[in-house]
Structure 1
Amino acid sequence: MFEAQALLLDDPFLTEEVGRLVQEEGMPLEDAISATTGQMRAAMEALDDPYMRERAADMDALGHALLGALHGDTGGLGDLPPGAIIVAPDLTPAETAGLRSGTVAGFATAYGGPTGHTAILAKALGIPAVVGLGAGALDIADDTEIILDGGSALLIAAPDAETRAAYQARASGERAADEQRRLVFRDQPGRLADGRALGVWANIGSPDEAQAAADNGAEGIGLF
């Protein structure tokens, strides 16, 4: 996904149009970047392919990164308290990757979709996430207690005591069941229903993912 953004950065239209707006129309550089990435996003949103339409979010991430670089912003989310759940319009893939430390409990976004890079990366990193909730999610006040149910694509703000207790019991049971399944299947070789051996390899993009693959019994690396 970062390679895809790098390819967009190399698109001649981006550099040529930004240069034209600055040199010929006297537009400030920040405005020229925003206008050009906005044009590129609109072009992608007009495509018939739903998957490619969701790639339009890459233009937001690219524009955000370029504007941040102009002002020396590294693109991080800043200091977050342990167990925090982020609610935001959207997160860039770079911001999502920065959550891999485990400090954040999860995140929810108003926009985006399940096939977007942010959602894909969150799944790969094991970060609970719900995306595309709509603008109403942004009305949730800071420090509100939240239950994030990634499996049901559900966010519950300010849950009552009964709901909180039910989810705590459910989460505890699911963690125990997941760990039991992992221990049962981790060291077993992959096999098809007819008994033929099938190697179980992992796709990784970082040392953390390589360690997770090893911990869960991967027999090799399929894509790096």
Structure 2
Amino acid sequence: MEQYKGRAIVQKIAAGRIWFYTKEEQSVKRYRVEDTEKEWKRYEAARDEAVRELNGLREKAVRELGEINAAIFEAHALMLEDRDYSDSVKNIIETQGVNAEYAVAATGDNFARMFSGMEDEYFRAKAADVQDISERVIGILSGRRKRKKMGKEPVIVVAEDLAPSETVQMDKSKVLGFVTRQGSSQSHTAILARTMNLPALIGVPVREEWDGKMAVLDGVNGLLYVDPDEETLENMRKLQKEEQERIRLLTEYKDQETVTKSGRRVRLCANVGSVSDVAGALQNGAEGIGLFRSEYLFLEADHCPTEEEQFQTYRLAVEMMAGKPVVIRTIDIGADKRAPYMEGEPFHLEQETNPAMGLRGIRLSLEKEELFKTQLRAILRAGAYGEVSILYPLITSVEEFKRAKALLKEVEEELADFGIPCGKVRQGVMIETPAAAVLSDLLAAEAEFFSIGTNDLSQYTMAVDRENPRTEEYFDSHHPALLRLIEYTVKNARAAGIPVGICGDLGSDESLTEFFVKVGVDELSVPPSRVLPLREKIRNID
């Protein structure tokens, strides 16, 4: 048995086999070939395999997501079977005498540039699609698709590091927990682990040779056991039973009010990243969705979600909450939250020296107006089915918020002109920059509510990169400057008569719950698994 120490993210225990995740190599090499006919046949076989894959994905999507969300796979299969595309690949192979991988990559780039330059928005959207199908064929040709996939049994995912775009695309029903060498307790992967309520360790010296071995992830003590002995397994089973009993006792709070002994009412909502998370929110008695992270809809996809795809997702979440409030944060793509297709239309995300302070959040939305308006239309349409609010991320000035409000009004008028039903949504500011906190008195005059994003507010206040484990020792969740900014923001919100909530990780910190209640926070929005423990905590505050 081997034992390794790490930093625990979620204090739970999991036992199962290790699945070592390795990143796929993205580069395509160009080399000369003698037998171009053989190379062409390689391409044809890979193309046919890709079409079979896409048809299979379409059938799976129809069963799980419906016809609308499955249409993209059918469209991709048709593009692969297009004669112009295949003729281009064949021409490059034969005239240049090069390998099929390079011919496909070149064809994908050429077609993407062609579509991007067209005036028609429909054809411009095809640029990302053609890049995606090209990458699929290249993956088959190069053998990268043969990398071992998750089996039928749930596993402990072990990796050097995990990007949000990688974790969100995993089959969550098969993940028991996460173990990585890199990352920090404030990283987005850590946030996802909390949302999924899965044990996670960071800072573990992982090794690929562990793949397939039995392991125990002890999130309580921050330990990973590889090839555990029977005694260790038995101790872990006991701890798991204790945790299950604790969860059972908490269920008595599910339908109770979130109110202190002195009568102070606090709304307890849930943070979610997908429709599947909404079920967990309801199961744990959440009083609403305080933060729907819409960017995960984009990260889980292999293309930019259309207005209809977004609308169907938001509508389903709103309908599931059955009248309870749903706050949808507009896309917060950028920094470490990006997917391969975002290098093309309509994002054109470039590598940045300091992405945390780069083109992200509301900045990206205001620069990519059509992308932003598409999302606003989808949210407004979903608003016809329940109580919906819009939350704008990374606001640093009153002018940014006014521009966002103006675009929403423009979209609202467009929908009315076409007779498309939409709801009246509230508009709020996410207070996650010191600038927004300092200007909270001015922003409160324009906003209908505040939601304090403590993850980024902490990062920017203390100048600590949340993705850098080397600066973790400088992070202090109880830093006086941070708490002062929160208290100042709440004071200004209450003076203006608008509600204010906490939607960052600090909302789950029970050592700060009493502070939040006393300064006047109206709402705490936390991972679904934290709703009941916090309700118990608040009901015992005098």
Structure 1 residues 172 and 165, CA gap change in structure 2 (3 angstroms): same
- Within 2, Cα distance between the matches of 1:174 and 1:79? 27
- Within 2, Cα distance between the matches of 1:81 and 1:176? 28
Q: 1:190 aligns with which of 254, 258, 281?
A: 258
Does residue 206 (structure 1) correspond to residue 270 (structure 2)? The answer is no
Aligned pairs for 1:9-88 (under 5 A) are 71-72=135-136, 78-88=149-159
- Within 2, Cα distance between the matches of 1:185 and 1:144? 39
Superposition deviation, residue 159 in structure 1 = 1.3
- Within 1, Cα distance between the matches of 2:224 and 2:275? 31
- Within 1, Cα distance between the matches of 2:174 and 2:277? 17
- Within 1, Cα distance between the matches of 2:160 and 2:154? 20
- Within 1, Cα distance between the matches of 2:148 and 2:270? 29
Q: After superposition, give the CA deviation of every residue in 1:121-156 in whole Å (9 maximum; x if it has no partner).
A: 1111122211221xx321552222110012322211
**Alignment-mate amino acid for residue 219 of structure 1:** E
Aligned Cα root-mean-square deviation (Å): 2.8
Structure 1 residues 194 and 220, CA gap change in structure 2 (3 angstroms): same
SS at match of 1:148: strand
Q: 1:109 aligns with which of 171, 180, 183?
A: 180
SS at match of 2:175: coil
**Alignment-mate amino acid for residue 135 of structure 2:** H
Does the CA-based 8 Å contact 1:148-1:156 persist in structure 2?
Answer: yes
- Within 2, Cα distance between the matches of 1:193 and 1:137? 47
SS at match of 2:285: coil
Aligned to 1:23: none
SS at match of 2:245: helix
Aligned to 1:155: 224
**Alignment-mate amino acid for residue 216 of structure 2:** I
Normalising by the residue count of structure 2, what TM-score does the alignment of the two structures yield? 0.27
Superposition deviation, residue 174 in structure 1 = 1.0
Further displaced range: 171-180 or 77-86: 77-86
Does residue 145 (structure 1) correspond to residue 209 (structure 2)? The answer is no
- Within 1, Cα distance between the matches of 2:148 and 2:274? 20
Q: After superposition, give the CA deviation of every residue in 1:56-96 in whole Å (9 maximum; x if it has no partner).
A: xxxxxxxxxxx9987336x9983334131121101121222
Structure 1 residues 98 and 152, CA gap change in structure 2 (3 angstroms): farther
Does the CA-based 8 Å contact 1:110-1:138 persist in structure 2?
Answer: no
Does residue 124 (structure 1) correspond to residue 195 (structure 2)? The answer is yes
Structure 1 residues 196 and 100, CA gap change in structure 2 (3 angstroms): farther
Structure 1 residues 146 and 97, CA gap change in structure 2 (3 angstroms): same
Does residue 97 (structure 1) correspond to residue 168 (structure 2)? The answer is yes
**Alignment-mate amino acid for residue 240 of structure 2:** A
Superposition deviation, residue 193 in structure 1 = 4.2
Aligned to 1:165: 234
Superposition deviation, residue 114 in structure 1 = 0.8
Does the CA-based 8 Å contact 2:210-2:226 persist in structure 1?
Answer: no
Structure 1 residues 155 and 82, CA gap change in structure 2 (3 angstroms): same
**Alignment-mate amino acid for residue 127 of structure 1:** L
Unmatched 5+ residue regions in structure 1? 1-29, 31-66
Structure 1 residues 198 and 176, CA gap change in structure 2 (3 angstroms): same
Structure 1 residues 141 and 68, CA gap change in structure 2 (3 angstroms): farther
Structure 1 residues 127 and 100, CA gap change in structure 2 (3 angstroms): farther
Superposition deviation, residue 190 in structure 1 = 0.5
Does the CA-based 8 Å contact 1:96-1:118 persist in structure 2?
Answer: yes
- Within 2, Cα distance between the matches of 1:151 and 1:100? 24
Structure 1 residues 102 and 147, CA gap change in structure 2 (3 angstroms): same
- Within 2, Cα distance between the matches of 1:203 and 1:104? 20
Further displaced range: 87-96 or 138-147: 138-147
Q: Choose 1 or 2 for highest CA Rg.
A: 2
Does the CA-based 8 Å contact 1:112-1:132 persist in structure 2?
Answer: yes
**Alignment-mate amino acid for residue 287 of structure 2:** E
Structure 1 residues 80 and 91, CA gap change in structure 2 (3 angstroms): farther
